[in-house]
Amino acid sequence: LEFTVTERADRASDDARAKILADPGFGNYFTDHMVRIAWDAASGWHDAAVSAYEPFQLDPAAAVLHYAQEIFEGMKAYRHADGSVWTFRPEANAARFARSATRLALPVLPEADFIESLKQLTSIDKSWVPEAADGGEASLYLRPFMFASEAFLGVRPAKSVTFSVIASPAGAYFGGGGVKPVNLWISTDYARAGEGGTGNAKCGGNYASSLAGQLEGIAAGCDQAVFLDSSTHTYIEELGGMNLFLVYRDGRIVTPELTGTILEGVTRSSILELAKELGLSPEERRIPIQEWKDAAAAGELAEVFACGTAAVVTPVGELRWEGGSCDHRREGHTDEVATRIRGTLLDIQYGRAEDTHGWLTRL
């Protein structure tokens, strides 16, 4: 596709932008431009454009507002010391976006167009890519998404669809800067996804269905909920917006296997590769929630951490459930493995370590 730049806009002054970049938080501010590509059943993908960031004109009958036919991705642009801007494994996100599209009966956007749309937006909004302080994680979060824009209330795949990319400068996902641990609540009333459902697609509906569990967790003094498998309520799945890893004192590092009901995280798969190189023994398998409780009680569990593009690697403080808890913050706790993996990943992403896996793409 050929992109046209229909308008240059500077919504924020240099001063205003500098203030935002100094403390962006997560998801609060958006850059000057956006990408849009239209699709319809008769002519396929067309009208690829970079324009000023602005609200969509959406018909109240647009199918996405009624039946949630929508998917998205989360990626980051990193500024290296020489000023160049890079992203991490965009082919993996493009491939997952294509799988999500197929699951939600949306059209597949070719990988080349997906990646070009990221390049178009980051090149026009390059001044919005923050410089990362040493050990910091400032980046420009990229949010490609696609939704059913056809005005039609029958339930069938939409015949007109919009693809878009917006960008948002980002610091740490969980405020407070850097590696603040999160406390988790085991949600027993709610599941996030079921067998044959959309659990492994990155669609808005999965995130909507995680919110009631998250509220339950917040009411119990936690930050996030851990969801278990919906059929037996026995096995750990994920947090709704992040995957989980358990780290044993003997060097095993275990994450739930991909059963179709959890998101195939790009950070998750990168950590599985890095863990081997760091001398750990990665395992993907079913993990009973009871194993977590027992291993913590027996002192065999060294750490638990959550991971994702937005949250990078975030240690888990406490696990709570109805009538009990286990605390990973006992004396002498260092989050050594989480910190090491986080550092290794960030060093690659920011160009401070050699990219031996070929994970970086210049934007």
Q: How far is the CB of 60 from ligand COI (least distance, A)?
A: 27
DSSP codes of every residue in 107-152: PPPPHHHHHHHHHHHHHHTGGGSPPPPTT---EEEEEEEEEE--B-
Give whichever of 74 and 130 is closer to ligand COI, judged by the CB atom: 74
User: Terminal CA-to-CA distance of the chain, rounded, Å?
Assistant: 17
Closest C-alpha among 284, 327, 310, 306 to residue 75: 310
Q: Per-residue x/- marks for ligand COI, 69-88, CB under 6 A?
A: -----x--------------
For tokens 């992109």, name the residue: 3
Give whichever of 150 and 243 is closer to ligand COI, judged by the CB atom: 243
b/e 189-206 (16+ beta carbons within 10 angstroms → b): ebbbbeeebbbbbbbbbb
Interface size with ligand COI, residues (CB under 6 A)? 5
Q: Shortest Cβ contact with ligand COI: which residue?
A: 74
Helix residue ranges per DSSP H, the chain = 14-22, 63-67, 90-103, 111-124, 204-219, 266-277, 289-297, 336-349
Closest C-alpha among 65, 106, 100 to residue 202: 100
DSSP codes of every residue in 233-279: S-BEEE-SS-EEEEEETTSEEEEE---SSS---HHHHHHHHHHHHTT
Binding region for ligand COI (CB under 6 A) out of 102-110, 215-223, 250-258, 302-310: 302-310
**Secondary structure (3-state) at 102:** helix
Ramachandran sector of residue 98 (left: φ over 0; alpha: ψ -120 to 50; beta: rest): alpha
Q: How far is the CB of 99 from ligand COI (least distance, A)?
A: 15
Q: Per-residue x/- marks for ligand COI, 231-250, CB under 6 A?
A: ----------x---------
CA separation, residue 186 to residues 229, 234, 296 (Å): 11, 11, 15
Q: How far is the CB of 309 from ligand COI (least distance, A)?
A: 4
Q: How far is the CB of 98 from ligand COI (least distance, A)?
A: 17
Binding region for ligand COI (CB under 6 A) out of 102-110, 121-129, 286-294, 305-313: 305-313
Tokens coding 185: 């609540």
Q: Is 308 in the site for ligand COI (CB under 6 A)?
A: yes
Q: Is 309 in the site for ligand COI (CB under 6 A)?
A: yes
Tokens coding 116: 């070009």
Dihedral over Cα of 186, 190, 193, 195: its sign? positive
Q: Is 217 in the site for ligand COI (CB under 6 A)?
A: no
Give whichever of 87 and 309 is closer to ligand COI, judged by the CB atom: 309
Q: Is 206 in the site for ligand COI (CB under 6 A)?
A: no
**Secondary structure (3-state) at 301:** strand
Q: How far is the CB of 86 from ligand COI (least distance, A)?
A: 17
Residues 134-163 that bind ligand COI (CB under 6 A): none
Q: How far is the CB of 238 from ligand COI (least distance, A)?
A: 10
Q: How far is the CB of 143 from ligand COI (least distance, A)?
A: 8
Binding region for ligand COI (CB under 6 A) out of 50-58, 106-114, 275-283, 304-312: 304-312
Give whichever of 203 and 289 is closer to ligand COI, judged by the CB atom: 203
Binding region for ligand COI (CB under 6 A) out of 306-314, 316-324, 326-334, 355-363: 306-314
Q: Is 107 in the site for ligand COI (CB under 6 A)?
A: no
Binding region for ligand COI (CB under 6 A) out of 110-118, 268-276, 307-315, 339-347: 307-315
Distance CA 358, CA 302 (A): 31
- Strand 312-321, strand 301-308: pairing: antiparallel
Q: Per-residue x/- marks for ligand COI, 249-288, CB under 6 A?
A: ----------------------------------------
Q: Is 310 in the site for ligand COI (CB under 6 A)?
A: yes
Q: How far is the CB of 346 from ligand COI (least distance, A)?
A: 15
Secondary structure element (H or E) that encloses residue 195, with its range: none
Closest C-alpha among 322, 291, 323, 286 to residue 304: 291
Residues lying near ligand COI in the complex (CB under 6 A):
74, 241, 308-310
